[in-house]
Amino acid sequence: MRAGLDRKWPMSDIHLHHITKSFGPTPVLRGISLAIDHGEFLTLLGPSGCGKSTLLRILAGLEVQDSGSVRIGEGLVDGLRPKLRDIAMVFQSYALYPHMTVAANMALPLRMRRLKFWQRLPILGRLMPGARQVSVEIDAEVARTAKALGIGHLLSRKPGQLSGGQRQRVAVGRAMVRHPAVFLMDEPLSNLDAKLRVQMRAEIKDLHRRLGVTFVYVTHDQAEAMTLSDRVAVMLDGELIQVAPPQDIYADPDDRRVAEFVGSPKINLLDAIVRERGLADALGISFKILSDAPPGTALALGIRSEAFHLSEGAGVNTLTGAVRLIEHMGSDLFVHLDLAGLDHPLIARLAAERASQIALGQTLHLSVNPDRILVFGQDGKRLRSSGSAETPKVTPIRQFAL
Amino acid sequence: MAAYALAGPAVLLLFLLFFVPVIAVFVIALTDWQFGAHTFAFVGIANFREVFGDDGFRASLLNTVIYVLIVVPGTVILGLAIAMLIESGRSLRAFYRAIHFLPFMATLAAMAIAWEALLHPTIGLVNQTFSALGLPTANWLRDEVTALPVLAIIGIWQNLGFAMVLFLAGLKSIPRDLYDAAEIDGADLWLDRFRTVTLPMLGPVLMFVVIVVALRAFEAFDTVKVLTKGGPGHASDVLLYTLYRESFEYLRTGYGAAVAVVFLVIVVALTLIQARVMDKRVHYQ
Amino acid sequence: MSARLSPQAAILRHAVLLITAALILTPFVWMISLSMKPPGEIFREHFAFLPQQWYAVQNYRKALTSAPLPRYMGNGVLVCAAILTLQILICAPCAYALAKLRFPGRDLIFGLVLIGLLLPHQVLSLPLFVLCYELGILNTYAALIFPFVVSPFGIFLFRQVFKTIPDDVVHAGRLDGLSELGIVWKLMVPMALPAVIAFSIFSVVGRWNDLFWPLIAVRSESLMPPPLGIIAFANEEAGNDYGPLMAAATIVILPLVVAFLVAQKWFVEGMTGGAVK
Instruction: Tell me the chain B residues in contact with residue C47 when contact means C-beta distances shorter than 8 Å.
Output: 125, 128-129
Q: Do A81 and B188 touch (CB under 8 A)?
A: yes
- With beta carbons less than 8 A apart as the criterion, state whether A229 and A262 touch: no
Q: How far apart are CA C215 and CA C230, in angstroms?
A: 12
Averaged over C162-174, what is the pLDDT?
Answer: 90
Amino acid at A205: K
CB C200 within 8 A of CB C271: no
Gap from C114 CA to chain B (nearest CA, Å):
11
Distance of alpha carbon B71 from alpha carbon B66, whole angstroms = 9
Query: What pLDDT is attached to residue C273?
Result: 63
Q: Which of C18, C72, C124, C129 to mutate to test the interface with B (most CBs of B within 10 A)?
A: C124
Question: According to the model, what pLDDT value does residue B278 have?
Answer: 67
Does C240 contact B at CB distance below 8 Å?
Answer: no
Cβ–Cβ gap B21/C124 under 8 Å: yes
Backbone angles phi, psi at A22, to 5 degrees: -125, 145
Flag if C109 and B25 touch (Cβ within 8 Å).
no
Phi and psi at residue B239, in whole multiples of 5°?
A: -50, -50
Closest residue of C to B162, CA-based? C272
Report which DSSP code applies to A381. Answer: B
Helix, strand or coil, per DSSP, at residue A398: coil
pTM of the model: 0.83
Q: Residue A19: CA atoms inside 13 Å, Cβ hemisphere, count?
A: 29
For chain B, say whether C232 makes contact (Cβ under 8 Å): no
**Amino acid letter, residue C250:** T
- Find the CB nearest B284 among A83, A98, A120: A98
Question: Which site among B91, B174, B185, B188 would you substitute to test the A interface, given the most A Cβ atoms closer than 10 Å to its Cβ?
Answer: B185
Q: How far is C220 from chain B (nearest CA, A)?
A: 16
Flag if B184 and A81 touch (Cβ within 8 Å): no
C44 interaction partners in chain B (CB closer than 8 Å): 123
Contacting subunits of C (3+ beta carbon pairs below 8 A)? B
DSSP assignment of C54-118: --HHHHHHHHHHHS-HHHHHHHHHHHHHHHHHHHHHHHHHHHHHHHH---TTHHHHHHHHHHHHH
Q: Which of C106, C274, C124, C271 is nearest to C202 (CA)?
A: C271
Give per-residue pLDDT as tens, C127-142: 999 999 989 998 999 9
Specify the pLDDT at position B143. 86
Pairing mode of beta strands A41-45, A231-236? parallel
pLDDT of residue C215: 92
Domains recognised in chain C with CATH numbers: 7-62 (no CATH), 64-273 (1.10.3720.10)
Q: Does B91 touch chain C (CB under 8 A)?
A: yes
Q: List C residues 50-79 in contact with B (Cβ-Cβ < 8 A).
A: none
Whether the CB-CB separation of C65 and B139 falls below 8 Å is answered with: no
pLDDT band at residue C63 under the 50/70/90 scheme: confident
DSSP-based three-state secondary structure for B132: helix
Interchain contact B246–C (C-beta under 8 A): no
Interface of C with B in 148-167 (CB under 8 A): 149-150, 152, 155
- Distance (Å) from the alpha carbon of A107 to chain B's nearest alpha carbon: 9
pLDDT (0 to 100) of residue A130 = 75
Q: What are phi and psi of B114, to 5 degrees?
A: -65, -40
Domains and their CATH numbers in chain B? 56-282 (1.10.3720.10)
pLDDT tens for the 402 residues of chain A, in order: 333 444 455 667 899 999 999 988 889 999 899 999 998 999 999 998 889 999 999 998 888 889 999 988 877 888 888 888 888 999 988 899 988 899 999 998 888 888 877 777 766 776 777 778 888 888 888 998 888 888 889 999 998 889 888 998 899 999 888 888 899 999 988 888 888 888 888 888 988 998 888 999 999 998 899 999 999 999 998 999 999 999 999 989 999 999 999 888 899 999 999 888 888 888 888 888 888 888 888 989 999 999 998 888 888 888 888 999 998 888 888 999 988 888 889 999 988 888 788 888 888 899 998 888 999 988 889 888 765 444 444 444 333 333
The one-letter code for the residue type at A48 is S
Are residues A2 and A210 in contact, defined by beta-carbon separation less than 8 angstroms?
Answer: yes
Separation of alpha carbons B214 and B219, rounded Å: 9
* pLDDT the model gives residue A84: 84
State which amino acid sits at residue A306.
E
- Min distance B193 CA to chain A CA atoms (Å): 11
Contact call for B25 and C13, based on CB within 8 A: no
Cis? peptide before A265, omega within 30° of 0 = yes
Cα–Cα dist C108/C115, whole Å:
11
Q: Is the pLDDT of residue C207 over 70?
A: yes
Partner-chain residue, chosen from B184, B187, B285, that has the shortest CB–CB distance to A89: B184
Structural contact between residues A272 and A297, judged by C-beta atoms closer than 8 angstroms: no
Considering only CB atoms, C42 lies closest to which of B82, B91, B123, namely B123
Q: What is the CA radius of gyration of chain C?
A: 24
Coil/strand/helix, residue A161: helix
B265 near C CB under 8 A: no
In residues, how long is chain C? 277
* pLDDT tens-digit series, residues C185-201: 988 999 998 889 889 98
Beginning with the edge strand found earlier in the chain, give each strand of the sheet holding A26-36 in spatial order: A26-36, A14-23, A67-72, A75-76
Chain A hits for B192, CB-CB cut-off 8 Å, are: 112, 117, 120
CB B210, CB A135: distance < 8 Å: no
What's the pLDDT at C45?
63
Question: Could you give the C-alpha distances from B188 to A331, B181, B203, in angstroms and in order?
Answer: 54, 11, 22
Q: What is the mean pLDDT of each run of 10 residues along chain B (285 residues)?
A: 86 93 91 81 84 88 94 95 90 90 91 90 84 85 89 94 91 89 85 87 86 90 90 88 90 89 91 75 48
Contacts of A92 in chain B (CB under 8 A): 177
> How far is Cα B263 from Cα C120, in angstroms, rounded to an integer?
9
Going through chain B in order, the beta strands assigned E by DSSP cover none
Contact A24, A66 (CB under 8 A): no
Q: Give the pLDDT score at C277.
A: 35
Instruction: Check if B187 contacts A (Cβ < 8 Å).
Output: yes
A19 forms beta bridges with A32
B contacts of A89 (beta carbons < 8 Å): 180-181, 184
Q: Which amino acid would we find at residue A286?
A: S
What is residue C74's predicted lDDT score, i.e. its pLDDT? 92
Nearest chain A Cα to B196, which residue? A97
Eight-class DSSP state of B109: H
Q: Is some CB atom of chain A closer than 8 A to the CB atom of B206?
A: no
Q: What is the reported pLDDT for C239?
A: 55
Residue of C205, C226, C249 lying closest to B105 (CB–CB): C205
* B90:C2 CB<8 A: yes
Q: Is the peptide bond preceding residue B232 cis, with omega within 30 degrees of 0?
A: yes
**The three-state (H, E, C) secondary structure of A214-245, written as one string:** EEEEEECCHHHHHHHCCEEEEEECCEEEEEEC
Residues 125-184 of B with CB under 8 A from C: 125, 128-129, 157, 160-162, 165-166, 169, 171, 174, 176, 179
Q: Output the pLDDT for position A6.
A: 44
* Average pLDDT along chain C: 87
